[in-house]
Structure formats: structure tokens, C-alpha cells
Chains A and B, each alone.
Chain A
Amino acid sequence: MEQGAELIDVLIVGAGHGGAQAAITLRQLGFEGSIALLGDEPYLPYERPPLSKDYLAGEKDFDRLLIRPKYFWEERAIKMLVGRKATKIDPMAKTVWTETGETFHYRNLIWSAGGSARTLQCPGAELEGVHTLRTRRDADGIKHALSNTSTVVIVGGGYIGLEAAAALTKLGKSVVVLEAQDRVLARVAGEPLSRFFEDEHRSHGVDIKLNMSVKRILGGPSVTGVELSDGAVINCEMVIVGIGIIPSVGPLIAAGAAGRNGVDVDAACRTSLPDVYAIGDCACHPNEFAEGRPVRLESVQNSSDQAIVVANLLSGKAAAYAATPWFWSTQYDLKLQTVGLSSGFDQFVIRGNPLLRSFSVIYLKAGRVIALDCINSIRDYVQGKKLVEAHIHVDPADLADLDVPLKSWLECLAS
């Protein structure tokens, strides 16, 4: 063992939602060993979702995003080692190295490092004024530059891109969204939801260009425009790239952990390395709501619930990850709530009227409800969640009938 390095009972890499929750739950369960969190950002754990929503729109200060106040961590003897990026691990010596050469020894390691925003590879991608939106620093960089910005080109029509489009439109910016596929949200939602959001954004003045990618970014040193795949040029002062994340698992994989899409874990969030667990955005886990297939979920729900599983295990209690996936997004006055995992659906039903801006897309596979995307329709979300959990067969025609509450299916089941 290297001299001077501390032995930590539970070392958590990543100070996001997952890392914070793991530490909180360990103490709640009475874990008395030492706990430390290594975070690559220089901040205490904070909520990431508002960065593309109310924080970006200037409606919420950073202080209100803190998951817990500073004294909370001190009181519970949870050591916050922020501003340190873990770059190497030795699973035999049970040691983690940081970028600056600090070393930490662990008995158990929880890897909750999330991911880094994927960047563009085209010419001009490094110009000043090209942003990603994953961290507080990213969001502050965007906010800081807004006073000199009238037009923003957003690359990527996923949740981050669309939420940013809504927030920036609210701030009076002219916004263009470029989506490489033939619809927005193509990776995560069914076509009716994509078309609905495209219409909503267009009605707020957002220019959505589908089947369109970036050939190069123009300017120097600052962005002056974007040249599109069709040769057209859009003049702009800012580009926001929202094209997904790359799971931050390099040191684990280099140390021999299995994983191709993030790091592989079992139902107890164990990686293939001894006493190394992984949770959150970077953990590729078997998910009951995907028929047991390995999936990687990027959500607060997933990181928090997996954190609770690992905290239980490390406190000597049996636990396995089986939580129902849910997710939310807010854009303008629209509240989207999703439950279950829709990938692999073979049929969908629209319940309610998209023109009234309150409806749900219900996804089925082999006659069972596997997921719902609910727009301004919390009741269907709440009741639909139970349908997804019950894995029961339903008649699709009846699902569309607003006079039949979704919970009536469960009452049938109970009787």
C-alpha cells in the first residue's frame, strides 16, 4: 500500500445524483465506516436536470439546486473530495488515482461517474461559442454568453436540445434545432410524441430542421455560423451540442471491467471487478422492464434507485435493482412524464387529444403495456405506472377510451 494514502471503506467516484444518494442511504442505514466522494466538478452534489430548464432560463439560482447543504455532508462524516477526477484504478491493490496523482485505497468502490457530453467532430467544433450542456460550468458558460447572442443553433433534437430550445426561446433568442434523424426524440419516444413536440416548438418560433446535420462550424475565434449538410449556412453566435453522452468508464474498462456500452453490472450493480459497483448513467444493467436485456438508463430515477440498492448491499442487506423506470421533461408549459421503457414496442395507442395538449402515448408489446409517455396528463401517468408494473394484457382499443380510467384494468385484475 502506498504511504500516505487513506483507506476508505466506501469510496464513491462521482458526486452526482447517484453518488450523493449512495452516501445518504448508507448513513440512513446506519453504516458506520468511512465514506468519501470524489467528484470531478468543483461543486457539492447538485441536481442536473434544471441545467437545461429553469437554471438555464434564469429562474432558479444554483444554491437551490444543491442536493443537500454543505453542513449535511459534514454532519454525516461524508467526505466531499470535489474537484478531483479519478483517472486510474488498480482493482488488485484496490486503489484509485486522480488526475493530479492523489491516491485513495478502498474496501468497496461505487463508480457513479456518469458521462461526458459527446462533442462534434466536424471542422470548427472547437471554436469559442460552441457549448455542450451537461454541467453547471456548461450552463454558466451559455448564460454568460447570452447577452451577446441573438441566434442559437442547437445540434440534436433530444431532451437536452429541446429543453434548451424552450428555455432560450423564453429568453427571446432565435433558435434553430438540427436533428440528424427524421424526427426529434427518435431514440427515446414514438413518432406521435416526436411530431407533437416538433409542432409545439415550431409554434413557439423554433426552426426545427430534420434530416439535417452539421458540415462545419464557421468563424474564428468565435462562432459566426453553421454550414449544414445541405450546404446552407445559418448565421449564429452560439452553438449548443446536445448529442448524448459518452459513459465515463475509461478507468474501469482499462482495469479489466467488462463493458461495451458503459460498464456491465449485474442486478446487484456489481461490475466484474471485485468489490467494485457501478450505478447510474454509466451502468449497463439487466432491466426487468426491458425483459431482462442489458440497458443503460440516463435518469435521476435510475441513478438514485441503483444507489439505494448498493447502499443496502454494503450495509449487509439483500437488494436487487427492480425499480420502475420513470423520467420527466418540461418544455414551455408542457410536462412530459414517462414510465417504463418503450423500446421494442410493437403497437402504440394514443389516449387523449394531442391538439388539446393533454394526451398519452401508450406503448404495448405482445398485448402488454410496457411504457407510457404522458403529456400534461399526470393521472394517466400515475395509473399507467401501475399498469406497466402489473405486466397485464389489455385490449388496446379500450386504452384509447378516456372514459375508462387506466386504473380500471387493475381493478379487473384485483376482482
Chain B
Amino acid sequence: MSITVSTRSGQTLELEGRTGLSLMEVIREGGVDELLALCGGCCSCATCHIFIDEESLAKLPPISSDENDLLDGSSHRNERSRLACQIPYTADLDGLHAQIAPED
């Protein structure tokens, strides 16, 4: 089970996924330094904003109104935007590609 993550600095990393963690935690455990995730994953900031590849996007749980409102605060939001902390990692997500969104 693995995902790939593209960073702002242009690196692409292949990370091991682990069920029981959120996608944010998988990316953080994978040693990506750009993901601040300041609130620790309680959907209170938007510092784990990522863009998800189109194919994986459809497999994700729907966006909650809280997540939607937080994402609205980002000037970089697009149709592939999600907060990584709100996505539980599951085997289903094998092959997912995430790109760290630009800083706001």
C-alpha cells in the first residue's frame, strides 16, 4: 500500500500507507516537512491542504461542511482540494497521488 506525494519544492516521494491513520498522518510520518498540520488533525486550520489526483478523488469520503468552509479560506482552492487530516487512510487509497497545496 503506497501513495505518492509531490512537494512544493518539486520532490516526489513514495510513502507507505497505514490504516488507522489519516492521510495527513501518513504524509507527516513519511517525513514531508511542508505539511504544517498545525491543529494536529482536528479540522481547525487548513494547513494540511492538498490536491488529490482525479481518480482517487472519487474514492474519498465526501467533504464535510466544516472542511468545505475551511478550504474556502484558501486562495489556492480548486476542485481537487481536500484537507488531508479529514481522509482516513484505507487500502482503497493505494496509488493515490497528493500534491501539497501552495502556502496561503
Contact = CB atoms under 8 A, between A and B. Distances in A.
Contact of A378 (B9, B34, B69): B69
Contacts, number: 59
Interface stretch (A64-72, A204-212, A272-280): A64-72
> Which bucket holds chain B's interface residue count?
20 to 34
Interface centre among A68, A75, A378, A383 (most CB of B within 10 A): A378
Contacts of A385: 73
Contact of B38 (A24, A27, A300, A379): A300
B31 A71 contact: yes
Given A72-B31, A379-B69, 14 more contacts: A24-B33, A28-B9, A49-B39, A53-B42, A64-B21, A64-B25, A67-B28, A69-B31, A301-B38, A304-B36, A326-B45, A335-B43, A335-B44, A378-B65
B70 A65 contact: no
A339 B69 CA distance: 15
Interface in B5-63: 9, 21, 25, 28-29, 31, 33-34, 36, 38-40, 42-45
Contacts of B33: 24, 27-28, 68, 72, 76
Contact of A65 (B40, B65, B72): B40
B66 interface: yes
A72 B29 CA distance: 8
Interface residues of A, number: 33
A372 to B, nearest CB: 13
Interface string A321-350: 000001010100001010000000000000
Interface of A: 21, 24, 27-28, 47, 49-50, 53-54, 64-65, 67-69, 71-72, 75-76, 300-301, 304, 326, 328, 330, 335, 337, 378-379, 381-383, 385-386
Contacts of A304: 36, 38
Q: What 4 pairs across the A-B complex have the smallest Cβ distances?
A: A382-B73, A328-B44, A378-B69, A379-B69
